Chain A
């Protein structure tokens, strides 16, 4: 496997009462480094489950998952947590910021898991907020920011520890068209300028058009993978 993300025969089942629910079945996938992939599909198709497995938030029922050189299906919960902190940045639909913390404290959170000094943490937080254009909102709490600004803070939090991979679950699903385009432009810039590999789940074909590849999932199976504009 030379790809940065490689799935082989991955299945994921959930038990609901006596029923065994197959969400992903025998899934194979390769994604190269520096790629920007949009995962699309109808509700319940398994795209969020796929994203969670790639991001190390969930474990497969069977199969192999290798991401950034690690067999995730073999890691313990604690080792997975450590791996996520080093290699993955997460961006959610509803931003998922800590409402009691200021923007800069939210962005700083992943750095608390490192051995960086307070001064170094502050420097990196300032740079990350500068990158997303929110240097002047550092002391604002999420409730004092617009949706687009909150998502920018979430992006700053996702990139602060310089991860290899960005995992985005409907990052523009809660934003108006204009703001959504700004956020997607920002993600595209991170992919293009900083070489971040981005996996993004979206329902929106317009959002998906920002990606270099579109991956279509239905009923837990990979239907097809298109290059952008295809």
Chain B
């Protein structure tokens, strides 16, 4: 049956108890608003994992991520069969003005950084300027925007881990370049030269935080990882090599199992929403028993009545879901402006919109199932007698 010609009927039935319908809409919209915001948060936290390179491996200390490795490992790993390029990085623990606002500041090897991270897009002139400037740094576009930093500006970057040999914890770094990310990844970080850092720091000289490898053949990644770890077995600093994705995932897992937390919260909210919507539909259909009997008298078949009740239920959940998800998108976009520095990927992903559509459809069908079944089975003569 063409649904369009039944729209006035569906609308009139939904609208006959305005307060009840509005409250149900509000509860459905609120459930989907929460769903949308949680999905946006999950995307912000785990979205980086999706952007990790399939051909990249991370090598860190076997004991802990916070323990450093000898810098000499760079050359030794570069010689391992299957390794295309390797670079080292260290966590600087940087902040700019506010100690609580940590900046993703990494100490990097400028010579090898771009071979391992080809998605870092830096204009050639800025690239050359950085290589020539020992105390220079390159800054991601998002980080530069957030702090209103300009090219050539010298930034006093503090560390909450390291100190210089003169006792200060401030490194003055000139912005030689502002990079973008061609893969759409985070540009909320900065990199400065390992040599400058190593020469000026007061402890931990010739050590690096971790190493990033790019392999020649992603299919061979497990074998390369085994070879690298075997190379340093039984040494003072044994290594653990894993894919960049697994590394990012384990890093995020320190926060907790985000997926499970979201599934539990969203599951509880949707279950409550299902009860509310099913109750609304149940009441609405009970009130209209005689009317449904009249429709059957006029020639509407049981299947058509069932479909109309399900359409009414679907209209409730789909419209409520649309409102909730649009609100979530708006709120996530607003929050992203304010939290650009911390959650640059905050936003409702397209997949979440599709998931919301599917969930709203299933919930609408479930909420309408029992009333629709009762309406379908309704005996005209009994219902008309009861309805007077």
B9 within 8 A of A: yes
Is B381's CB under 8 angstroms from A58's CB?
A: yes
Nearest chain B residue, comparing its CB with the CB of A79: B301
Is B303's CB under 8 angstroms from A78's CB?
A: yes
Which of B12-20, B137-145, B258-266 lies at the interface with chain A? B12-20
Is A100's CB under 8 angstroms from B290's CB?
A: no
Is A100's CB under 8 angstroms from B12's CB?
A: yes
A52 within 8 A of B: yes
Nearest chain B residue, comparing its CB with the CB of A83: B299
Is A84's CB under 8 angstroms from B12's CB?
A: no
A164 to chain B, nearest CB (A): 14
Known A57-B297, A58-B381, A96-B294; judge A105-B302 contact (CB<8 A): no
Which B residues, 284 to 339, have Cβ-Cβ distances below 8 Å to chain A? Answer: 290-291, 294-304
Nearest chain B residue, comparing its CB with the CB of A118: B5
Known A96-B294, A100-B16, A105-B9; judge A57-B380 contact (CB<8 A): yes
B6 within 8 A of A: yes
B8, B299, B303, B381 — most chain A CB neighbours (10 Å): B299
Q: Would you call the interface of chain A mostly helix, strand, loop, or mixed?
A: helix
B288 to chain A, nearest CB (A): 9
B15, B300, B304 — most chain A CB neighbours (10 Å): B300
A145 within 8 A of B: no
Is B12's CB under 8 angstroms from A98's CB?
A: yes
Is B298's CB under 8 angstroms from A110's CB?
A: yes
Q: Would you call the interface of chain B mostly helix, strand, loop, or mixed?
A: helix
B351 within 8 A of A: no
B374 to chain A, nearest CB (A): 16
The range of chain A's interface size is 20 to 34
| Chain B residues positioned under 8 Å from A94 (CB to CB) | 388
A-B contact count (CB 8 A): 67
Is B296's CB under 8 angstroms from A81's CB?
A: yes
Which B residues, 345 to 388, have Cβ-Cβ distances below 8 Å to chain A? Answer: 380-381, 384, 387-388
Known A78-B303, A109-B295; judge A101-B12 contact (CB<8 A): yes
A16 to chain B, nearest CB (A): 13
> How far apart sit A101 and B294, CA to CA, in the bound complex (Å)?
14
Nearest chain A residue, comparing its CB with the CB of B298: A110
B20 to chain A, nearest CB (A): 13
A227 within 8 A of B: no
Known A100-B15, A109-B295; judge A77-B302 contact (CB<8 A): yes
B387 to chain A, nearest CB (A): 8
Which B residues, 1 to 47, have Cβ-Cβ distances below 8 Å to chain A? Answer: 5-6, 8-9, 12-13, 15-16
A residues with a Cβ closer than 8 A to B are: 52, 55, 57-58, 77-78, 81-82, 84-86, 90, 92, 94, 96, 98-101, 105, 109-110, 112-113, 118, 157
B residues with a Cβ closer than 8 A to A are: 5-6, 8-9, 12-13, 15-16, 290-291, 294-304, 380-381, 384, 387-388
Given contacts A57-B381, A96-B387, 10 further A-B contacts (CB under 8 A): A55-B297, A77-B301, A78-B302, A84-B298, A85-B299, A90-B294, A96-B294, A100-B16, A110-B298, A113-B304
Which 4 residue pairs are nearest across A and B when measured between Cβ atoms? A85-B299, A100-B12, A100-B16, A81-B301
- A selection of 7 A-B contacts at a CB cut-off of 8 Å is A77-B302, A81-B299, A98-B12, A98-B291, A100-B16, A101-B8, A113-B300
